[in-house]
Amino acid sequence: MADYVSKIWAKGIFAHRVVFVTGGAGSICSAQTRALVHLGANACIIGRSVEKTEKAAQEIAKVRQGAKVLGIGGVDVRSYDSLKAAADRCVKELGAIDFVIAGAAGNFISPLSALSPNGFKSVIDIDTIGTFNTIKATIPYLVESAKRNPNPSPDGLTGGRILAVSATFHYTGMPLQAHVSAAKAAVDSLMASVSLEYGPWGVTANVIAPGAIEGTEGMERLASQQLEQRERTEGVPSGRWGTVRDIADATVFVFGDAGNYINGTTIVVDGAGWRRQGGIGVGLDANMKYPDFLLSGEISKHLKETRKPKTAKL
């Protein structure tokens, strides 16, 4: 439990609620889902890999006796029809969709000079179009949930809430991340629109923007494996990278009774790292300094899958 959620939350605060999660088998989203399931929710996690998604669902279900966790693989968030079928199946088998986490994302390291139109489009399609499709596929169910769960909550139980997992690169700009910065800026804008247009129906829409999170698939692709602990964290004022529990706790807060009046907002969970954005060293080894690495055309060779625009589950 300590790995994915703090002990401060009361058990049962999400009893009989259902969360629908894209990218739910990934490092961050699986921790978010575990936290909600531990606290009473049932879940439906979505992913492209059938085997990985179903295995993750089985593992997540172990955090609470009697939990129902449905893993639906073979779903591409770039396809609205695929997502709509998954959302409909979730409601058919679990009874509702009360919470949504839009967490599927793509990332890789590339300067603009080497970024192909197809590579740029891949990230936009997964992050931005995928978030839009998730909204469209689930919003009718969220409106229904909001009707069942008035805000503020008279009984402490909540529903009708959607959360996107974003990033902070576009706040100040980040070399080698133009594609992700553009995609996540659009995600933030989409969620603002949801809050404005569906807030009157009782739905809340927010964003969590993680910083560098320890031990995640995303940071394996972005951070050089040659960096020492001190070199990796010296750009973060809080002195450390985040944990998946940090993101899960923020999710519990936003979806819980304490988050009733939080709508149309981005919660940055990064130890103030975005205020010293260049200090994280995305795609760089310790000896690579700005702008020298750009002028020489160098990036770290100690990254996981640096050149291929593959989907990274957050």
To the query of whether residue 166 is one of the catalytic residues in this protein, the response is yes
- Helices 27-38, 50-61: inter-axial angle, 10-degree rounding: 30
- Let me know: does 115 contact 178? Beta carbons within 8 Å: yes
154 contacts: CB under 8 Å, gap ≥ 6: none
Output DSSP code: residue 258. G
Q: Identify the residue whose tokens are 């300094």.
A: 289
- Let me know: does 280 contact 213? Beta carbons within 8 Å: no
Residue in 27, 82, 110, 184 annotated catalytic: 184
- Both structure tokens of 174: 């980040």
Residue in 166, 181, 224, 300 annotated catalytic: 166
Q: In b/e form, how buried is each residue of 105-132, taking b as 16+ CB within 10 angstroms?
A: bbbbbbbeeebeeebbebbbbbbbbbbb
CA-to-CA dists, residue 246 to 122, 156, 240, angstroms:
29, 23, 12
- Both structure tokens of 94: 């679990």
For residue 255, give the nearest of 20, 28, 78, 4 by alpha carbon. 20
Q: 194: exposed, middle or buried (C-beta count within 10 Å: 0-12, 13-18, 19+)?
A: buried
Provide the annotated active-site residues. Answer: 166, 184
